[in-house]
Structure 1
């Protein structure tokens, strides 16, 4: 059979699956909660509904299933091309295009929801599931704006559901090793962090296309836009290039920050930053003028965040974020041919007695100079997650089966929420401000020359009000704003 034919919707097949699934419900997709509060099903399996099941969503639900303790009961995606592999992998799962319809019609038939959509629809889908009492796994970053992240953090406690963000490096051994080294006082008091990435690997700093191609018939463009303002479809935005547009994505910080800054958050117990400043790269608008396109993330940035003292530090901690290939100065303790981070990405801890670094996801932790790692022995203090980053999925499944508060997860929303907020606060400095024209007719962003001061309780910048419009966005008509 040709691939095109395999991916075509088949009404007869779906009718058969629907009928077969109903007949098999007693042993296949009966959710655990219908058997009574606290009852452990004989199969002890979690029934998961996937929202966004192509790409990363495809691998997410495959990993839940691979845990051996989850059934994939329902699939939802606005693009049947992207969903095809998951539909073929889980032929008994009922398919929907609109997650709202799936939750409305099927919420009694599953226990948990995985959300792996573009950033701008993470929060609204996750909160709707949580309000139905469903455990949720949400891809990183947790949300598109700060208000959404705060709401999800509070919702996890209010609705008493098991949560996990998809920064799977939080379950790696590396983070735990770095915590043990720090607590053994191997590098002293950590006061400065550098994290860097070679991303974006998608277009940024560009104007929105004026072309108006036809929307692929397999894609429901209006549903894909969801909460975002309506715009005409452009080629290649789906499935990946949306990351570089503020209406949908959160740039390199949203994509990689949750992987590279999770280790400092975990090691130092960082939470909410108190100020932020930045510099950004520009592009040539034409041969005589450099500038920015406010709808699109810039091609590179360097952001500096200040975090207040924690129980793991003696004072404030300065965190530097660099993207677009910008890297910090190589530590003097690192040999001239020794790899800095993993080459394109990394995290560096600077303490009063020494330095340590790791790769993406907290992998490959090592002290500097590298000779210090020879015959290094530090007692294990923190339990490891079985399977490391792959175990991140099974950890959530098992915690959801056990019930709220019964088992530990590596990136529950009480951890993932503040981490995401810090990244999104950094994006306030990157993204900006109302563009104004100077006397030469150049576009300038006046707030980029300021240190923005953050009032965490009020969730606002106190010294440059223009940027607060991005703390909480208004959803498009027809999409209800988040409320607990």
Structure 2
């Protein structure tokens, strides 16, 4: 299969773990910048939902100088909270006109993460982007490449990565608390599915036929961005876009990123060799209702191969070692590490790791290993990034790391779309056994958009 020119350009982007030097904005030049000790000037892009929440979390230690959203009505509450911030509907206009911006925080739908992140980094801005990093694999590679080339500080919004639980999980596994880990089960009992449209079958929802008028204040063309154009409908915006393949990455790109993060971190996983999925509720437009996705990772650096099974909209079988009456994982998801000497269970964020059965936990605690992984002040993911912008510490989930975890999750989505097995050639960024799956590694942008 001959690769398009745009894909060949980023074949060299690394998929291995690596560190790059973070260059503070003041080093990049320009007269409008902050010194490392000063408050950052931050702009928000996509601030009506989660984007507004991350902006609020930055406001205690940074200046919010600009806010950009294609729907000012949906973003009204956040805009009202920061009346002194300049307002925009187009991020390109904002980046071009407002030169006092040091950093941006992106909370737009998944399908615009890549184009906005690249534009901001190329403009010399530090970037915080909500997860997943991108909607497609080729975008993740490109975003990581630009981040490395520009040297700005970046952070993928996996907020729980900064907290205590994942660090304990890492330290306990590294100390051999459950022996050699060859199998992991992870799950979310939720799934993204656009229920609620009265004329659809709830089993197989498809695109709505109605074409209601675009609400006042919404720039629908800008919302669509690089995706293929389709008429406005409220089932896409606000809030439901993640259920649709053209705009979102489903539960794999949401809870999947949060859940696979501590697994990838603790076991030092690279790219899987193969991914296999079985799903229900398949159709060309929306993510499936339920899925079971099996990732197989090769042995690496003295560590054994790992089988990771992801259950979406489902729970895995309850382990017999878990006592009656105890919650299996968390209310909405969890992780179960299966080691040669025992099991380690947590909720989907790894916030409360516990050996099972509880007797093993009681025996382990008096001799638990020392804390060896640096802790983040107050477990604050946004503060960690703003310090990285000033050159004070390294961001925990920079775009090099974020691109790899995003790629793993997007490979799960590729397997879902073909409802079967795919074999992944990470070096050449292609599926080797299913050409249909390669269609989704890189799709064409709408005319007028590029990466």
User: What TM-score comes out, normalization by structure 2 length?
Assistant: 0.89
Q: Distance in 1 between matches of 2:399 and 2:131?
A: 11
Tell me the residue number matched to 1:286: none
Kindly report which structure 2 residues correspond to 1:314-463, keeping only aligned pairs within 5 A, or say none. 314-324=303-313, 326-374=314-362, 376=365, 377-388=368-379, 391-402=380-391, 407-432=393-418, 448-449=419-420, 451-463=421-433
| 8 Å Cα contact 2:158/2:258 also seen in 1 | yes
Task: Output one character per residue of 1:125-180: Cα deviation in whole Å (capped at 9) or x when no partner.
Answer: 00011111211001000000000011111111111011100011111111110111
Q: Does the residue aligned with 1:195 lie in a helix, a strand or coil?
A: strand
Other-structure match for 2:229: 230
- Check 1:295–1:42 CA distance in 2 against 1; reply closer, same or farther (3 A cut): closer
Does the 8 Å contact 1:356/1:366 carry over to 2?
yes
Residue 12 of structure 2: aligned partner: none
Q: What is the Cα deviation at residue 199 of structure 1?
A: 1.7
Note if 1:57 corresponds to 2:51: yes
Task: Please tell me whether the aligned partners of residues 54 and 82 of structure 1 are also in contact (alpha carbons under 8 angstroms).
Answer: yes
Contact 2:66 2:86 in 1 (8 A): yes
- 1:6 is matched with which residue? none
* Structure-2 residue corresponding to 1:16: none
- Is the Cα–Cα contact under 8 Å of residues 168 and 361 in structure 1 kept in the other structure? no
Give CA deviations for 1:60-114 in whole Å, capped at 9, x if unaligned: 0111112x2x1111110000112212211111110000111111222x2111111
Q: State whether structure 2 residue 445 is matched by structure 1 residue 479.
A: no
Q: SS of 1:230's equivalent?
A: coil
Q: 1:372 to 1:262 in 2, by over 3 A?
A: same
1:470 aligns with 2:440: yes
Match in the other structure for 1:277: 276
Give the one of 107, 113, 138 matched to 2:104: 113
Residues 186 and 348, structure 2, Cα contact 8 Å, conserved in 1: no
User: In structure 1, what is the equivalent of residue 181 of structure 2?
Assistant: 190
Q: Which runs of 5+ in 2 are unaligned?
A: 1-24, 196-203
Query: If you compute each CA radius of gyration, which structure gives the higher value, 1 or 2?
Result: 1
Distance 1:369 1:37 in 2: 60
Q: Check conservation: 1:57, 1:116, Cα contact below 8 A.
A: yes
TM-score, with length taken from structure 1: 0.83
CA RMSD of aligned residues (A): 1.9
How far does the alpha carbon of each residue in 1:390-423 deviate from its partner, in whole angstroms, 9 at most, with x for none? x000000111012xxx522211112111100000
Distance 1:93 1:334 in 2: 52
2:151 aligns to what? 160
1:39 is displaced (CA, Å) by 8.7
Inter-partner Cα distance in structure 2 for 1:266 and 1:99: 33
- Distance in 2 (CA, whole Å) between partners of 1:46 and 1:40 is 6
In structure 1, runs of 5+ residues without a counterpart are 1-30, 283-291, 433-447
Query: Separation in 1 of the partners of 2:134 and 2:182?
Result: 28
Cα offset, 1:314, TM superposition: 2.8
Query: Could you tell me how far apart the structure 1 residues matched to 2:116 and 2:239 are?
Result: 19
Equivalence for 1:126: 117
Check whether the contact 1:138–1:165 (CA below 8 A) recurs between aligned residues. Answer: yes
In 1: Cα distance, 2:51 partner to 2:387 partner: 19
Higher relative contact order, structure no. (Cα contacts within 8 Å, ≥ 6 residues apart): 2
1:24 alignment partner in structure 2: none
SS in 2 for 1:74: strand
Q: CA deviation at 1:378?
A: 2.4
What CA distance in whole angstroms lies between the structure 1 residues aligned with 2:352 and 2:244?
32
Is residue 302 of structure 1 aligned with residue 296 of structure 2? no
Whole-Å separation in 1 of the counterparts to 2:424 and 2:55: 37
1:45 aligns with 2:39: yes
SS of 2:205 mapped into structure 1: coil
